Amino acid sequence: MIKKFRKSLTSVSVYEESILVGIIFVLSSLMLYQAQSFGTASQRLPQLASAATAGLSGLLLARNFLPSRVEELLFPSDESDGGLMGVDQDEEDTIETESEEPKTGKFGIHGGLFTGVLTIVYATLGLAVGFLLVTPLFIAVYMYWFDHPWYSVIAMGLLGLIITYVFVTIFRIPINEGMIAVATGGILV
């Protein structure tokens, strides 16, 4: 048991997965508690769904402490090895020819991590000041980070500006107005 626990602590993939399941566990437990305050009809599904989510995520978190027979029964093909292997969709690309080496950009930072952080920054900035100018910047930074030539960086940035402009003018989606513009009545932006 202690060995298993130590192993679970030293494994990065299990640690990452534990955070994911832990967040779901805390969230669903809080939602289960809050569901008691809704009316009878309104609380039925939230109660059922949150109890099931909290119970199952709790089991997942405690799987290292379950008897091996129960663990095998509940998680028979659990091979959380950090590989991208969740194939339950027709459109999922297969893994046979994937490169073993993860993609990296500048400073050897993992491509997926960089893209994730950049997307969060992009969405936050876009919400604050609007997406019209932030989008070309996002695309240019992405291209620059992954060492594409300067003309690709500029051309893709321009393409981003055109796409955003089309959304604003043709589809009439107000993505050019960020929260700052709305709050200041357009004075600051």
Partner 1 sequence: MSTLGSLLEAATIVLSFPAIIWVILGIALGTILGAIPGIGAAIGIAILLPLSIQMDGGLAIIFFVSMYLGGMYGGSIAAILINTPGTAAAAATTLDGYPLSKQGLAVNALTLSAIASAIGGLIAIVILIAISPFLTNILLSFGSPEYFMVAVLGLSMITVIARGSMAKGFMMGAFGLLVSTVGLSEVGGAVRYDLGIRMLFDGINFVPVLIGLFAITEMFKLASREGEISEDESEVTGSRRDGISGVVRRPITVLKSSLIGLGIGAIPGAGASVSNFVAYGEAMRDDDDPDSFGEGNERGVISAEAANSATVAGSLIPTLSFGIPGSGTTAVLLGALLMHGFRPGPTLFTQEAVTTYSFFVALLVGNLIIALLGLAVISYAGYLTKINTDYIIPIIIPLAIFGGFAIRETMLDIITVVLFGILGYYMVKYEYSIIALVLGVVLGPVAETNLHRSLQISDGSYLIFVQHPISLLMVIATVAIIFGPIAKAQYQQFRGTDTA
**Choice between 2 and 96, CB closer to partner 1:** 96
d(CA 125, CA 99): 33
* Angle at alpha carbon of residue 128, lines to 123 and 131, rounded to 5°: 55
Beta-bridge partner residues of 110:
104
Extract the tokens encoding 113.
Answer: 């991590």
Name the residue nearer to partner 1 (CB basis): 2 or 167. 167
- 104 forms beta bridges with 110
Question: How many other C-beta atoms lie within 10 A of the C-beta of residue 177?
Answer: 15
To partner 1, the closest distance from the beta carbon of 166 in angstroms equals: 10
- Alpha-carbon span 46 to 24, nearest angstrom: 14
Closer to partner 1 by Cβ: residue 129 or 164 = 164
CB of 38 to partner 1, least distance (A): 4
Q: How far is the CB of 5 from partner 1 (least distance, A)?
A: 19
- Measured from the CB of residue 1, what is the shortest distance to partner 1 in angstroms? 21
Which phi and psi (to 5°) does residue 152 adopt? Answer: -70, -40
Nearer to partner 1, 2 or 97 (CB): 97
- Residue 4 CB, nearest distance to partner 1 (Å)? 18
Report the residue number, 129 or 142, with the smaller CB distance to partner 1: 142
Tokens of 91: 């459109």
- Residue 12, judged by CB atoms within 10 A of its CB (0-12, 13-18, 19+), counts as exposed
